[in-house]
Structure 1
């Protein structure tokens, strides 16, 4: 063994190499020992996080579809749409009852032959054009009033909603060149409302359902009894081979017994899902209409300088109540405020929904 002096140098003048403890690992060995072990550790730590995220996403998806296919939501809003648009069309029919023949009938400048040629080119339909007789027109006009009134009242809404859509489309198609954007919106909404549960509240259907009550579905006790009987039949079938046919017949009868309930649950899920999709389409349609109208107004110079309301309120087409139009057009500042408020409301309506 070579001795080392107090100055820390060997007798031959060379610098000694410090001895390393046998138990102390080298830096390279430490890196080689820790690096491979760290990667599996990180993966093991990330695996529960991914699994938890997948579970949360699956639960959210299941909850979403359960909510969509559950009971219909927004029934009060759907009922309000039914009453509102139905009342608008009913008011139009009653208001124009004295001018009905000039607008939709045999005295209209837009004759029935001209209307047929136009509709044949765009694949349009109208029950008013089935016959040229006056009695047919008068019958359809009276039927439209009755159907619309029943639709507003919510009497057998499923059937009357279809008839209401047919009437709206027929009257709009008869004098297509006389319609405007408002008539188009009413026609679109009449189609969408057929797929909504708009008769669940504020309707005669809801009143009848409260008075008569709903048919109560079979309770779990009956199902338990059936399954106990099937279990006993299977136990007996293990002892008697010919009993297998009886077990099969019992299973078939049980399926037939449960079929009405399963079909009712399927029908309820389809009705709820269709209602929710239709309500979403209605909301999207309204947002598109308001946004498009507002953006088109922004491009006009009259809306930019605030004088558009003055010109609109003095047009005969927009003056069903002249006194109210004169009141709204009371001053320049008031008219400018109404013009800008109209534009801001229409453009920003989608952000308020």
Structure 2
């Protein structure tokens, strides 16, 4: 009961949730704007994956119905959906009416991307997962337009309002745990998969990866790095070690930071050497769930000192009385 009382009494990691919201919204917007010139042939009526095929695949896999919202043969209606996805991505990033826009964001982003599921990559997949999970969080309480609005009276009264507040708070905390678990599973599974291959065990996997024509935007740089045998060997083992160790390191307030820094470096290298900036950005955004509010409070203080103003994102009471906002710091 004490655990339930704590989990439903205080909304933890509100700033981390806000960072996830901003990052996911911006990344979705980047995907949509990057592909806007080819969107019609990728996901629209002109796509090789016809509406009938999309509906059949959705039914065969037992996917949720909102994945097929954007399945239409009308070019006009399709571009309406696409435009709405862009607009909602902007509103979600800004944190405007987040309770509503977070749901619309999840529905529209998933609907557009699942229109032709086979042209997406792992970065798209993580964005979809984060969009769904963030709809269950209180990601708009800080660093948002919602956080700047005047407070309105509670929706309910008395015990009903307290029950509603606790349910919302518990849902928020559980959703963040699910996001953290999803990221840990992704890294743990990737590491376990790697160690099954001989190229990762003998440290040559990165050498071969850097010679793939499809993933060498800077061939001279990639070939030079691939020629550094000791560096390639060390990076291969470091990659496996950090991915395998992160699910355990995150339970330490101190140990998790070296692991996160190492993973940040690996994602930066993937973005540059393999030409996958959006995929790398998606993974970095997912990693932010492990940075508690204590980290973001410290970062805000540094920003305040640098700008000479009030620290950004100072939390306010929830205008609907949904939770007490950070009179105490979450683990961080």
TM over 0.5: yes
Deviations 1:244-301 (A, max 9, x none): xxxxxxxxxxxxxxx7132221111111111111111111111111100110001111
Q: 1:73 is matched with which residue? A: 12
Structure 1 unmatched ranges of 5 or more: 1-60, 218-258
1:128 counterpart = 2:70: yes
Q: 1:275 is matched with which residue? A: 172
- Report the alpha carbon displacement of residue 322 of structure 1 after superposing the two structures with TM: 6.3
Q: 2:49 is matched with which residue? A: 110
Cα distance in 2, alignment partners of residues 263 and 306 from structure 1: 59
- Report the alpha carbon displacement of residue 179 of structure 1 after superposing the two structures with TM: 2.6
Cα distance in 1, alignment partners of residues 221 and 135 from structure 2: 35
Deviations 1:156-178 (A, max 9, x none): 11111101111222123211122
Moved more, 108-117 or 143-152: 108-117
1:303 counterpart = 2:303: no
Q: 2:117 is matched with which residue? A: 176
> So what's the TM-score if we normalise by structure 1?
0.64
- Report the alpha carbon displacement of residue 141 of structure 1 after superposing the two structures with TM: 0.9
Q: Cα–Cα, structure 1 residues 149 and 283, in superposed 2: closer, same or farther, change >3 Å? A: same
Alignment RMSD, CA only? Answer: 2.2
Deviations 1:187-211 (A, max 9, x none): 2221111111111111111122xxx
How do residues 238-277 of structure 1 correspond to structure 2 at under 5 angstroms? 260-277=157-174
Note if contact 1:75-1:201 (Cα within 8 Å) is conserved in structure 2: yes
Cα distance in 2, alignment partners of residues 312 and 83 from structure 1: 32
How do residues 293-332 of structure 1 correspond to structure 2 at under 5 angstroms? 293-319=190-216, 329=226, 331-332=228-229
Note if contact 1:71-1:268 (Cα within 8 Å) is conserved in structure 2: no
Q: Cα–Cα, structure 1 residues 261 and 302, in superposed 2: closer, same or farther, change >3 Å? A: same
Note if contact 2:82-2:112 (Cα within 8 Å) is conserved in structure 1: no
How do residues 28-39 of structure 1 correspond to structure 2 at under 5 angstroms? none
- Of 122, 147, 155, 2:96 maps to 155
Deviations 1:301-327 (A, max 9, x none): 121222222332343544467687567
Note if contact 2:25-2:93 (Cα within 8 Å) is conserved in structure 1: yes
Q: 1:91 is matched with which residue? A: 30
Cα distance in 1, alignment partners of residues 12 and 217 from structure 2: 37
Cα distance in 2, alignment partners of residues 127 and 329 from structure 1: 45
Cα distance in 2, alignment partners of residues 99 and 91 from structure 1: 14
Cα distance in 2, alignment partners of residues 120 and 158 from structure 1: 29
Deviations 1:62-107 (A, max 9, x none): 3x33221113111011111112222221111111111111211123
Q: 1:13 is matched with which residue? A: none
Q: 2:233 is matched with which residue? A: 336
